[in-house]
Chain A
Amino acid sequence: MNLDRLLQRVCIVNISPAKARPQYSGLLTFWQFTPLEMKTTIGTLVLVGCCFWISAEAQGQTQLKFWLNSSLGAHEKAAYQKAADAYSQKNPNVKVNVEAVPGSETDAAKLMTAVRSGVGPDLAVLDRFTIAQRASTGLLSDLTPLIKKEGKDLSQEYSEGPWKEVVYQDKVYALPTNTDARVLFYNKQILKAAGIDLSEFDPAHGPISPDRFKEIAFKLNQTDSSGAYTRLGFVPWLEQGWGYTWGYAFGGSFFDSASCKVTATDPGVVKGYQFLWDWAKALDPQKARTFVDTYWQWPSVGTLPDAQMPFFTGKVAFVITGNWIFPVMKEVAPNLDYGVTYIPAPGGLKTSWSGGWSVVIPQGVKNVEAAYGFLRFVTGEEGQTFLAKEAASLPTLKRLLERKELFAPEYEFFLTLLPVSKSRPPVPVGALYWDKLKDAEEAVITNSQKPEEALKMVMDTVQPQMDRFCK
Chain B
Amino acid sequence: MAGDLSHSSSRPFSKSIAMQRSHRRKIRKDLRSLLVGLLFISPWIVGFFLFLVYPVLANFYLGLTQYSGFGQPQWIGLQNYAELMSDPLFWKSLYNTFYYVILAVPLGVLVAICLALAMNQKVREVAVYRMLLYLPSIAPVFALSMMLIWLLNPRYGLFNYLLGLLHVPAINWLGDTHWSKLAIVLVAQFGAGQFGLIFLAALRAIPSSLYDAASLDGAGPWRKFFYITLPLLTPTILYDIIIGIGFGLQVFAPAYIMTDGGPLNSTMFTALYIYKNAFEYSRVGFAATVSGILFVMNATLAILTFWSSKYWVNYSIE
Contact = CB atoms under 8 A, between A and B. Distances in A.
B207 interface: no
B279 A112 contact: yes
A134 interface: yes
A294 B153 contact: yes
A361 to B, nearest CB: 14
The B interface is mostly helix, strand or loop, or mixed, namely loop
B280 A442 contact: no
A24 interface: yes
Contacts of A62: none
Q: Chain B contact residues (Cβ within 8 angstroms of A): what range?
A: 35 or more
B155 A107 contact: no
Given A133-B282, A289-B176, A292-B175, A297 B69 contact: no
A228 interface: yes
Contacts of A393: none
Given A24-B36, A448-B264, A293 B172 contact: yes
A290 B149 contact: no
A107 B265 CA distance: 18
A297 B155 contact: no
A303 B276 CA distance: 21
Interface residue range, chain A: 35 or more
A13 to B, nearest CB: 10
Contacts of B114: none
Interface in B267-281: 275-276, 278-281
Nearest to B263: A442
B259 interface: yes
B149 A300 contact: yes
Interface in A432-463: 432, 435, 439, 442-443, 446, 448, 461
A460 to B, nearest CB: 10
Interface in B58-83: 66, 68-71
A431 B70 contact: no
Shortest beta-carbon contacts, A-B, top 8:
A138-B70, A137-B68, A109-B279, A293-B175, A294-B155, A299-B260, A137-B282, A138-B71
12 contacts: A24-B40, A108-B280, A115-B70, A136-B282, A137-B282, A138-B68, A139-B69, A139-B282, A290-B155, A292-B175, A300-B149, A300-B260
Given A289-B175, A293-B175, 20 more contacts: A108-B279, A109-B275, A109-B280, A116-B70, A133-B281, A134-B282, A137-B69, A139-B70, A290-B155, A290-B172, A294-B155, A300-B258, A303-B146, A431-B281, A435-B281, A439-B264, A442-B263, A446-B263, A446-B264, A461-B87
